[in-house]
C-alpha cells in the first residue's frame, strides 16, 4: 500500500471507494515458509516462479475446483505439480507473438531479452501438459500476428489434450 499510495489516492480521488483500496485492507504477506491462506472459503496457495524479479504463481481452490494464475516465468520443473489437475491455468504467452509490432531494428534485441525472462511456447506446453489442466488461457498474445494452429500443434505435441484459449479483455471462463 505504501509503494502504490499515490496511485491508490489518485484512484480514490476519481471516485473509487476508499474501502478496500486505502481502508479496510487485509494484507497477507507471503514469506519463505508461508505460501497459503484461506479467504472466504477459497484456499489460496502461492509458489515462487523463476523470473528476473520476485514473481509468484497463485492457485485458487474452492468447491472442488481450481484456477491457477501465473504471469511471467521461465521453465520450472516444480510448476506442473503446483498446477496439477486445475480446471483453468492462466499463463503468460508473450513469446507466441511474432513481434511484428516492434520496429525491425529492435525486434531481435527485444525477443532475446524476453527469452531470458519468459518461457518459450515449448516450455509452456510442457508445463501445461505435465500439469494435466483442462483449459489453458494464454495472456498477452494479442501483440502481434499469432499462428494459433502452430501454438495448438506445439501443445498437442507436448501431450496437452485440453482447450487453449487466447485471453482478451472482458473474457469470462467458468471452470
- pLDDT tens, residue by residue, 18-40: 888 888 887 777 666 667 888 89
**Residue 148 resides in a domain:** yes
pLDDT at 143: 46
CA distance 163 to 139: 14
76 and 13 inside one domain: no
Assign 3-class secondary structure to the chain: CCCCHHHHHHHHHCCCCCECCCECCCCCCCECCECEEEECCEEEEEEEECCCCCEEEEEEEECCEEEEEECCCCCCCCHHHHHCCCCEEEEECHHHCCCCCCCHHHHHHHHHHHHCCCCCHHHHHHHHHHHCCCEEEEECCCCCCCCHHHHHHHHHHCCCCCEEEECCCCCCCCC
pLDDT at 161: 92
**Residue 171 resides in a domain:** no
Question: What mean pLDDT comes out for the span 52-58?
Answer: 82
pLDDT at 111: 75
pLDDT at 26: 79
Q: Is the pLDDT of residue 10 over 90?
A: no
**Residue 173 resides in a domain:** no
Q: Is the pLDDT of residue 9 over 60?
A: yes
Q: Is the pLDDT of residue 43 over 90?
A: yes
Q: Is the pLDDT of residue 87 over 80?
A: yes
**Residue 172 resides in a domain:** no
**Residue 175 resides in a domain:** no
What residue numbers bound the domain in which 147 lies? Answer: 31-166
Radius of gyration of the chain, Cα coordinates, nearest whole angstrom: 18
121 and 83 inside one domain: yes
pLDDT at 85: 96
57 and 108 inside one domain: yes
**Measured in whole angstroms, how far is the alpha carbon of residue 134 from the centre of its chain?**
16
Q: Which CATH number is 71's domain given? A: 3.60.15.10
pLDDT at 33: 63
pLDDT at 146: 58
61 and 77 inside one domain: yes
**pTM of the entire predicted model:** 0.75
137 and 150 inside one domain: yes
pLDDT band, residue 121 (cuts 50/70/90)? confident
How many domains is the chain built from?
2
Amino acid at each position: 500500500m505504501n509503494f502504490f499510495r499515490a496511485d491508490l489516492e489518485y484512484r480514490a480521488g476519481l471516485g473509487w471507494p476508499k474501502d478496500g483500496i486505502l481502508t479496510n485492507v487485509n494484507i497477507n504477506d507471503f514469506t519463505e515458509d508461508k505460501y497459503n491462506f484461506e479467504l472466504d472459503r477459497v484456499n489460496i496457495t502461492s509458489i515462487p516462479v523463476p523470473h528476473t524479479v520476485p514473481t509468484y504463481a497463485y492457485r485458487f481452490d474452492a468447491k472442488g475446483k481450481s484456477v491457477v494464475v501465473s504471469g511471467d516465468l521461465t521453465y520450472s520443473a516444480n510448476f506442473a505439480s503446483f498446477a496439477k489437475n486445475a480446471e483453468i491455468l492462466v499463463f503468460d504467452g508473450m513469446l507466441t507473438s511474432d513481434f511484428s509490432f516492434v520496429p525491425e531494428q529492435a525486434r531481435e534485441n527485444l525477443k532475446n531479452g524476453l527469452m531470458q525472462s519468459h518461457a518459450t511456447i515449448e516450455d509452456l506446453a510442457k508445463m501445461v501438459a505435465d500439469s494435466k489442466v483442462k483449459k489453458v488461457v494464454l495472456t498477452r498474445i494479442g501483440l502481434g500476428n499469432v499462428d494459433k494452429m502452430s501454438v495448438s500443434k506445439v501443445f498437442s505435441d507436448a501431450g496437452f489434450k485440453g482447450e487453449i484459449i487466447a485471453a482478451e479483455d472482458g473474457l469470462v471462463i467458468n471452470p
